[in-house]
Amino acid sequence: MKRAWLAFAALAIAVPAHAQSVEQRIAAYRHRVALLEDQDAIENLQATYGYYFDKGLWDQAADLFAADGSFEYGQRGVYIGVPHIRRAMLLFGPQGLAAGHLNNHMQLQAVITVADDGLSARARWQGMIMLAEPGQNGVWGVGVYENEYVKQNGVWKIAKLHFYVTAETDYDLGWTKSAIPMDGPSALFPPDRPPSEVYRAFPGAYIPPFDYKNPVTGRSLADIPEPADDVVGRK
């Protein structure tokens, strides 16, 4: 084995990967490492958002956003700026999780694309939801995050959080018997902007737009056709 490894190492060195100076190579590798670190930082940032949101830690969750960041959940509309985001989250319940509530928003399946300048990024996440409150049956849900991030003074922040809730159902009944519609914009604290996209959750069929390219073909996924929806009026 050792011999095989040495042979391989020798082979790797024998291939002239670069006709660059040592300094140029160090600069290039520092850049690549920085992008890897950025990706990890964004992964931790979004996971942290999830842990805060689960427990109704709205103050802490809102602090993860850039000063001009935006927050959009389902069809509730867009809230802009940290103070508005903090108040919008109070529509989900009081600061700190209320007794008997479950507000789990699991953050899975990150596809993170960091811009080459290392100052902005986009990511798609799978959002799994488990909800409960006293006197009501539990709720299962699922959706997709398509988010944007910005690095300010070396710190990654959420620039845009858009959670496309795509399906919610009663814990016992399931999808064949129960489809819970999304909440619309609040009358108590209206959003700064209406929903950026009007769509219907399950049983409607809708594809939250992909920010990333097909990782093998490199082709954009922006032109994937949306299925027709008579209710929304999408042909």
Partner 1 sequence: MNKALLAALLAVTATPAWAQQAQTPEQRLDALDKRITRLEDMNAVERVQRAYGYFVDKGQWTQLSELFADDATLEIGGRGIFVGRKRVLEYMHGAFGPDGPKEGLLAQHMQFQPIVDISPDGRTAWVRSRAFVMSVGGWGLPLYEDEFSKEGGVWKFKRESGPFTMYTSWKGWGHDALNNTWPDKFDPPPDLPPSTVYLTYPAYWIVPFHYPNPVTGKPFPVEPVGAYHRPPGTPEQAAARQVGKLADGTQQIAEPPGN
CB 80 to partner 1: min, Å:
28
d(CA 117, CA 110): 20
Tell me whether residue 98 or residue 205 sits nearer to partner 1 (CB atom): 205
Tell me the closest approach of the beta carbon of residue 224 to partner 1, in angstroms.
Answer: 6
Q: Could you tell me if 234 and 228 are in contact, meaning their C-beta atoms sit under 8 angstroms apart?
A: yes
33 vs 119 by CB, closer to partner 1: 33
Q: Which is nearer to partner 1, 90 or 128 (CB)?
A: 128
- Beta bridge partners, 152, equal 155
- The nearest distance, CB 121 to partner 1, in angstroms, is 13
CB of 98 to partner 1, least distance (A): 26
Q: Enter the DSSP assignment of 228.
A: P
19-43 per-residue burial string, b: 16 or more CB within 10 A, e: under 16: eeeeeeeeeeeeeeeebeebbebbb
Distance of CA 38 to the CA centre of its chain: 15
Residue closer to partner 1 by CB (options 19, 188) is 19
For residue 212, the minimal CB distance to partner 1 (Å) is 8
Nearer to partner 1, 28 or 98 (CB): 28
Alpha-carbon gap, residue 51 to 35, rounded angstroms: 24
Number of H helices, E strands in the chain: 4, 6
Nearer Cβ to partner 1 (71/164): 164
The distance of closest approach from Cβ of residue 74 to partner 1 in the complex, given in angstroms and rounded to an integer, is 16
Which of residues 98 and 173 has its CB atom nearest to partner 1 in the complex? 173
Number of Cβ within a 10 Å radius of residue 144: 19
- 141 and 120 in contact (C-beta within 8 Å)? no
**Angle of CA points 117, 73, 83, to nearest 5°:** 75
* In the complex, least distance from residue 176 CB atom to partner 1, rounded to whole angstroms: 6
Q: What is the DSSP string of 32-95?
A: HHHHHHHHHHHHHHHHHHHHHHHTT-HHHHHTTEEEEEEEEETTS-EEESHHHHHHHHGGGSSS
Q: Which residues bind partner 1 (CB under 8 A)?
A: 1-2, 4-5, 8-9, 12-13, 17, 22, 25-26, 29, 32-33, 36, 39, 108-111, 124, 126, 128, 140, 142, 144, 167, 173-176, 202-207, 210, 212, 214-218, 221, 224-225, 227, 229
